[in-house]
Amino acid sequence: MAHDSLIPLSVPHLGGNEWTYLKDCLDTGWVSSVGSYVDKFEKDLAEFTGARHGVATASGTAALHLALLVAGVKPGDLVITPSLTFIAPVNTIRYTGATPVFIDSEAAYTQMDPAQLSAFLDSECEAGPDGLRHKPTQRRVAAIMTVHLLGHPVAMEEICSLAQKYGLVVIEDATESLGARYKGAPLGQQSLLACFSFNGNKIITTGGGGMIQTHDASLAAKARYLATQAKDDPLEYIHHEVGFNYRMTNVQAALGCAQLEQLPQFIERRRAIAARYQQELQGIAGLRVVGEAPWAKSTYWLSTIVCEDSPFTETRQLMHFLQEHKIQSRPLWQPVHLSPAHKDNHVGGPCPVAERLYATALNLPSSSMLSETDLTRVITAVREFFKRP
Ligand SMILES: *Cc1c(COP(=O)(O)O)cnc(C)c1O
11-33: pLDDT as tens digits? 999 999 999 999 999 999 999 98
DSSP readout, 166-178? HT-EEEEE-TT-T
Q: What is the DSSP letter of 327?
A: B
Amino acid (1-letter code) at residue 98: A
Percent of the chain with pLDDT over 70: 99
Confidence bin at 44 (pLDDT 50/70/90):
very high
pLDDT for position 255: 98
- Does 60 sit in the ligand 1 pocket, CB within 6 Å? yes
pLDDT for position 312: 84
Question: What is each CA distance from 261 to 17, 53, 68, 196, in whole angstroms?
Answer: 8, 19, 29, 16
**pLDDT of 151-161, one tens digit each?**
999 999 999 99
pLDDT for position 4: 82
Beta bridge partners of 201: none
Kindly state the average pLDDT of the residues 284-296: 96
Among candidates 147, 265, 250, which has minimal Cα distance to 206?
Answer: 250
Confidence bin at 3 (pLDDT 50/70/90):
low
For residue 197, the ligand 1 atom closest to its alpha carbon is 7
Query: What count of residues does the chain have?
Result: 389
Higher pLDDT, 238 or 261: 261
**pLDDT of 107-119, one tens digit each?**
999 999 999 999 9
How far, in Å, is the centroid of ligand 1 from the Cα of 197? 6
Strand segments, DSSP code E, in 230-326 are 231-233, 238-239, 287-289, 296-297, 303-307
Residue 234 has pLDDT above 80, yes or no: no
Kindly state the average pLDDT of the residues 233-241: 84
- Does 85 sit in the ligand 1 pocket, CB within 6 Å? yes
pLDDT for position 291: 98
- For 90, residues 6+ apart whose C-beta sits below 8 A from its C-beta are 81, 100, 336, 339, 342
Q: What is the DSSP letter of 6?
A: P
pTM: 0.97
Q: For residues 75 and 69, is the Cβ–Cβ distance under 8 A?
A: no
- Does 175 sit in the ligand 1 pocket, CB within 6 Å? yes
- Does 86 sit in the ligand 1 pocket, CB within 6 Å? yes
What number of H helices and E strands is found in the chain? 11, 19
Question: What is each CA distance from 21 to 201, 207, 250, 365, in whole angstroms?
Answer: 21, 14, 10, 29
